[in-house]
Amino acid sequence: MSVLLEEVTVRVPVADGDLLILEPTSLELTERRVALVGPNGAGKSTLARLLNGLALASSGRVLVDGLDPAHQGREVRRKVGFTFTDPAAQLVMPTVAEDVALSLRRTHRNRSEREAAALGVLTRYGLEHLAERSVHGLSGGQRQLLALAGVLATEPDILVADEPTTLLDLRNARMIGDLLLGLPQRLVLVTHDLELAARCDRALLVDDGRVVADGPAQDVVDHYRATT
């Protein structure tokens, strides 16, 4: 699956005009695991959100497997899953099993089949013993794992993970990082964890709305460390 950005910019309206969030950017993402690194407010999340239509280009063109998120958003979101820094943004149902089942409503119309499929997903990620637990009673690591499980239950081709380890302790951050890097899906990872970023195949350093370094992940991470 190809991911292509052609001279893409992103602007947002502010009181005195438009603010340029992403300067003209052209990229082709072909590697299995791509990390986006850089300081806060640099435009990393905006760049990542372009890939499934959560952010839209102000100019230029984004193509995901030939589809434009601006005009074919539903089709693109079936191919590109997205997880947020805070899993509370995604966990909307009362119990663990119900939350995963919600993700399966399109592919499993029959309720009993959907419930069985949800339990299968939970088992795959070691969460089956929490099936009837309130989502509000989970630990931080369990909530992030559940959010990932719900997105992966839809079997996307690409997973975009926006700072998925930021709110976690070291043990859970390592667990989630290992899970992400072991997925069969292609991964676009926004992260401040430079050790995790260095384990990817390619990294983009984003600063002040521009991609200022792009190459093998370890090289880009070393460059970032040397310049901060």
Confidence of residue 176 (pLDDT cuts 50, 70, 90): very high
Token reading at 194: 């430079």
Q: Is residue 146 part of a domain?
A: yes
Residue 129 lies in a domain: yes
Asked if residue 16 belongs to a domain, the reply is: no
Q: What residues contact residue 163 under an 8 Å CB cut-off, 6+ apart?
A: 45, 85, 190, 191, 192
Q: Which residues form the domain of 116? A: 32-52+67-226
Helix H or strand E encompassing 45: helix 44-49
Task: Give the Cα separation of 198 and 120 in Å (integer).
Answer: 32
In a domain, 19, yes or no: no
DSSP one-letter string for 26-83: EEEE-SSEEEEE-STTSSHHHHHHTTTTSS--SEEEEEETTB-TTT-HHHHHHHEEEE
pLDDT in tens, 15-56: 888 899 999 999 999 999 999 999 999 999 999 999 999 999
Backbone angles phi, psi at 28, to 5 degrees: -125, 120
Q: Is residue 21 part of a domain?
A: no
Look up residue 9 and give its two tokens: 């910019």
CB 69 within 8 A of CB 63: no
The pLDDT of residue 27: 97
Q: Residue range 191-212: average pLDDT?
A: 97
pTM: 0.93
* Model pLDDT, residue 107: 87
12 phi and psi angles, rounded to 5 deg: -125, 145
Confidence of residue 123 (pLDDT cuts 50, 70, 90): very high
What gap in Å lies between CA 199 and CA 177, rounded to an integer?
10
Q: What is the pLDDT of residues 80-101, one digit of tens each?
A: 999 999 998 999 999 999 999 9
Position 209 confidence tier, pLDDT thresholds 50, 70, 90: very high
What pLDDT score was predicted for residue 17? 85
| Residue 62 maps to a domain | no
CATH number at residue 169: 3.40.50.300
Structural domain includes residue 27? no
- For the chain, the C-alpha Rg in angstroms (whole number) is 18
Count of domains in the chain?
1
| Inter-residue contact 96 to 88 (CB < 8 Å) | no
Does residue 59 belong to any structural domain of this protein?
Answer: no
